Amino acid sequence: MMHLLKVFLFFLFCTSVWGSNNYFSLINFSDSISVNDSIKIADALAVNDSLFLSDSISVNDSLSIQDSIQIADTLKPLFYKAFTHNDVYSITKNKIDRKDLRYSGDIFNHLPSGFLRDLGTLGQPSEITFYGIGFNNLSFITNGVNRNNRITNSFDAYSFQTENIDSIIVYPITQGFIYNNYNNPAAIEVIEKDSIYSIPYSRIKFYQAPDGEGMFDGRVSLYLTRRINLTLGTSNQSIDSRYNNSDFGSWLAFGKLRYILNNNFNFILDYSYRKSNTYLFGGVNINAIAPNELENILYAPLQAPVNYPISGFSSPSPRYQKLTNHSFSGKILSNIIPFINSDLTFYYSNNLTEFRQNQFTQNPDFPKIINNNEYQTFGVNFNNSFNSSLIDASLLYNFERNEINADLFRENFSFYNVSFAGIASLKLFEDFFTPTGYLKNLNFNGTNYFGAGLDFATNKFLNLKLKTGFSYFEKPYNMIELGISRLTSNVKNKNNAFQIGLEFDSEILKTELNYFYLKQENASLPAVYQYSDTLLLNEVSDLALINKELSGFSLTGELNYWIINFEYNGTYYFQGNSVEKLNPDYFVFAGLYYKDILFNRNLNLKTGLNFYLFGPRYFYNYDFEKSIPFQTIIPIGTNTFTISNQAKTKANLKVDFFLSARIQESAVFFFIFENLLDEKYFIVPYYPAPARGLRFGVSWEFLD
């Protein structure tokens, strides 16, 4: 960690020296241009180009001198804009920076209908959910490109840096299928930070926590020439084992090169790299603990037996996964016609997951797995938006080819998908309401999947705004589902979605209440075979097709009165008689803060208490190689799908003390006293949450 810090500071020093000697000969402006909300960024941002500035001095007969200076041409950097219609919920970088975040996955507990199925220890592949659905139903998009794993149709939130986020969009459950190439019902889009500064800019962030946990993140941005901007960044995060075999370490790095050809064309090259090593301890093995000692040992990391331990000090881990990812993209942003924005993106990704279990030992309690699962993705997005006084419309096109080389399937194969989508909002009645219609056709490896929907949003009246929508869409099965079942292309997962919401927006209170509903026909129900009482199996080996229904209410908002700030986000789930019950009965986050600007506006202080209330939860487990949560087993000798454990946990409350102090708009110091009441709990059985502890850190921005 210290070596990385020294290297980064040396690099920062070199760029500053270079900038001080050369910068003002290249760039002729003093104000920085930064994207704080990419959804609504104006096109009026301009960068002066000194190439086109000339002074013409004329001397007349009367010896009077007149200066005639031509108006300078300007260069306008173009920024990516999400192709959204009607209102969608978004959160910007300024607000994200003032929240309590360990890593990017923690953000989603603060967003409408969001919930993190936290596995308790940093680095474990916790599942992010929206509208009660997660792996294989939720797409993560960055700047228009779907980042889900093409084998499992899942996403690991450790794959992107929190410091690289400009804003996050939560799409309604009725619209999510439009923006991804699996027609997943839920979709989240991360707009990456994209800043243009007149002088070299750098930012570092660091935090430290118990169990050897720490993180360092650094980035630097500077102009190489008048038209070329370069941004580089790296991040390292790690933790020692809390429980036996739970280490984690990750490196992330990225580079972005922007070329401003003229006011109508920008070219952006982007590269990102990830290398991580995650030890999967499988939670605490409660069968190895005497019933009368369960509470004492379960939450004692040094004593608790785990399901997948390290066999000995000199033996390699029996279960872990290594991930290596290289991603490239080239983006062309154009605005040739003022009311038409175009975005053409070519992208490539190579992803290798090395999954190991019982590799070097012969432990009879669980089988040996040595799988290298690799895929390569080649794709192109072409998106156009059209804005006029009568209609806003977008056309979205995607082509993608994937080559799979995975030991999980015991064969190599490839598949492709092509999709066309159109969205249009009619403005004829915008004084009263705005209707939005959308259509999509997805050809997934030769089979067509159709989707359509209609949304309405009223104009604001008495600070109130009503939004509603419904849609129907067909969803293809992913490679895992096709690989472990006997599904044919004639069978389709059919989805009906509905959402209605009410917004209230005033000077002191902003809040949003939503009801969502999703019905899935021919949805997959995963199961594992139960061979014996002693064999530990977490490998999904079969699935059934069932109909699923899920609905709920979400409430999100913020109240600001004087020096009091109150933030809240909660979801209540209706799971009814559903066969599969993976969600808590409810989840509530609330934060009560003192918030003020002090010491001649040099200190922006936010401090108070964070409350996390987790409702009763059912028991379930994970097949981490396939990214599948499951509750169902098939007893040996039968074809019956049976819920393995129908018990529920009790509700739990966690309280944290939180302090965030922004100093002179350049540095943020944060301090968290976690789990003040030392609550003993787990969100996913049996992955205990951290005990009482301190976490603190700082982020700092530098110019020149």
Enumerate residues 6+ apart whose C-beta is below 8 A from 511. 503, 504, 555, 556, 557, 558, 559
- What local confidence, expressed as pLDDT, does residue 535 receive? 53
What does the pLDDT read at residue 568? 98
From residue 601, alpha-carbon distances to 274, 399, 542, 597 in Å are 40, 51, 61, 5
286 three-state secondary structure = helix
CB-count exposure of residue 375 (10 Å: 0-12, 13-18, 19+): buried
Burial of 206 (0-12, 13-18, 19+ CB in 10 A): middle
Quickly list DSSP for 440-456: EEEEETTEEEEEEEEEE
Q: Is the previous residue joined to 686 through a cis bond, with omega within 30 degrees of 0?
A: yes
Edge-first strand order for the sheet with 89-92 is 89-92, 165-170, 186-192, 138-142, 145-146
Nearest to 140 by CA among 104, 113, 174: 104
Taking the C-alpha atoms of residue 373 and residue 371, their distance in angstroms, rounded to an integer, is 6
Q: Determine the length of the chain.
A: 704
| Alpha helices, H only, 27-133 | 93-96
Write down the pTM of the prediction.
0.88
What is residue 457's predicted lDDT score, i.e. its pLDDT?
A: 94
pLDDT score for 536: 62
Q: Which two tokens mark 487?
A: 């599904």
- HSE at residue 435, side-chain half, CA atoms within 13 A, is 7
**What is the model's pLDDT at position 362?**
65
| Stretches in the chain below the pLDDT threshold 50 | 1-72, 313-316, 533-534
Taken in order of first residue, the domains within the chain and their CATH numbers are 89-703 (2.40.170.20)
Query: Is 504 in a helix, a strand, or coil?
Result: strand
Model pLDDT, residue 647: 85
Report the Cα 28 to chain-centroid distance in Å. Answer: 37
Residues 308-354: tens digit of each pLDDT: 888 654 444 578 999 999 999 999 999 988 888 999 999 999 999 99
C-alpha neighbours within 13 Å on the C-beta side of residue 476: 27
